[in-house]
Amino acid sequence: MKLTRRFALAAAAAAMMATAAPAMADLKFGVAAEPYPPFSSKDASGTWVGWEIDLMNAVCAQMNEKCELVEVAWDGIIPALTSKQIDVIWSSMSITAKRKETIDFTNMYYNTPTVLIGAKTGDLDITPAKLKGKVIGVQVSTIHEAYLQKYYGSAGAEIKTYATQDEANNDLAAGRLDYVQADGSALDAFLKTEQGTACCELKGQVADDPEILGEGVGGGLRKEDTAIKEKLNAAIAELAKSGKFEEITAKYPDLVGKMITPKGM
């Protein structure tokens, strides 16, 4: 009798634990350690803030998951994913065919144009032939580096890579570069700073190449993590339907009207 009751109590406890347990283990979201405003950067208190951080928090709340933000160097962020140090890359990573050879992605959660900026000269000709002999800065291991090598490096421009976008921007402001290429929203944020306003101007949007520039930004995932992908995609779709993307973007006036986000997926 006592043994039967003991088994019954153990079974009841196990059932309660199973009911209370989340559908999925807590998720580690990998974010590039360097600032990339207005999408991700640290405020004066050291807290991560930005459009992409707000979206991460909204996605995790929608999934009812406790998520951990993990800082990772950009050039090591895919190895960090594949070695299971993180579960999701959430760091403005564009969805490209090349990256899909190694990892998978969620559905797109934003997209912006690719642009070049440079010193204030008024010359807006950014054709590869015109930039022959010029020095163009870019963050290493990005779609922008691949694009510049294909179109501008092959036409005679010098492509100089940097570990972070900030370093490239600083060298442009100091006159050590002629141009910088990156995501339009990120460079727009730089141009609005005191440093950017003083030195530089928007030169224009580069010609599109979907094979290199991709199909927008998504969360990077291990190919085998299909359950995580389904849950993230469902959360992104629900936030799109509810208007949460517009609500988040409204907090960043410089992004309004300048980026594509999912609508009613």
Span 42-93, pLDDT tens digits: 999 999 999 999 999 999 999 999 999 999 999 999 999 999 999 999 999 9
Instruction: Tell me if 260 is assigned to some domain.
Output: no
What is the pLDDT at residue 263? 83
Same domain, 188 and 227: no
Q: Which residues of 130-146 are buried (b: 16+ CB within 10 A; e: fewer)?
A: ebeebbbbbbebbbbbb
The DSSP call for residue 38 is: T
**What per-residue confidence (pLDDT) applies to 205?**
97
In a domain, 153, yes or no: yes
Interhelix angle 184-191/165-173, nearest 10 degrees: 40
* Claim to verify: residue 48 and residue 164 sit in the same structural domain: no
In the chain, the amino acid numbered 122 is G
Q: 148 and 164 share a domain?
A: yes
Contact 5, 222 (CB under 8 A): no
**Model confidence over 94-110: pLDDT tens digits?**
999 999 999 999 999 99
- Could you tell me the CA-to-CA distances from 238 to 52, 62, 233 in Å, in that order? 17, 8, 9
* Average pLDDT of the chain to the nearest whole number: 91
Instruction: Classify residue 9: in a domain, yes or no.
Output: no
pLDDT given for residue 25 in this prediction: 52
Residues 236, 207: one domain? no
| Whether residue 78 is found in the same domain as residue 161 | no
Question: Any long-range contacts for 75-80 (C-beta under 8 Å, 24+ apart)?
Answer: 75/140, 75/141, 75/163, 77/30, 77/32, 77/220, 78/102, 78/103, 78/220, 80/30
The arithmetic mean of pLDDT across residues 138-164, rounded, is: 97
Instruction: Determine which of 22-36, 164-178, 232-246 has the lowest per-residue pLDDT on average.
Output: 22-36
Is residue 151 pLDDT above 50, yes or no? yes
Question: Are 32 and 66 part of one and the same domain?
Answer: yes
Instruction: Assess if residue 265 is contained within a domain.
Output: no
- Output the pLDDT for position 264: 59
Instruction: With respect to residue 177, please indicate whether it lies within any of the assigned structural domains.
Output: yes
pLDDT of 10 > 60? The answer is no
pLDDT band at 231 (very low <50, low <70, confident <90, very high): very high
Residue 262 lies in a domain: no
Domain that holds residue 64: 24-111+215-255
| Residue 19, pLDDT score | 41
Residue 19 in any domain: the answer is no
Instruction: Check pLDDT > 80 for residue 265.
Output: no
Mean pLDDT, residues 143-163 taken together:
98
Instruction: Look at the chain and report how many structural domains it folds into.
Output: 2
Residue in the structure block whose two tokens are 């460079």: 187
- The strand pair at 114-119 and 200-205 is best described as antiparallel
Q: How many helices (H) and strands (E) does the chain have?
A: 11, 12
39 and 89 co-located in one domain: yes
Question: Can you give the pTM of this predicted structure?
Answer: 0.82
Q: Would you state the structure tokens that stand for residue 160, as one six-digit string?
A: 């100089």
Same domain, 242 and 122: no
Residues 62, 145 within the same domain: no
Answer yes or no: is 3 within a domain: no
- Decide: residue 172, CB within 10 A, 0-12 exposed, 13-18 middle, 19+ buried: buried
Say how far apart CA 248 and CA 84 lie, in whole Å. Answer: 29
- For residue 177, the domain's CATH number is 3.40.190.10
**95 and 125 fall within a common domain:** no
Task: Tell me the pLDDT tens digit for each residue of 170-215.
Answer: 999 999 999 999 999 999 999 999 999 999 999 999 999 999 999 9
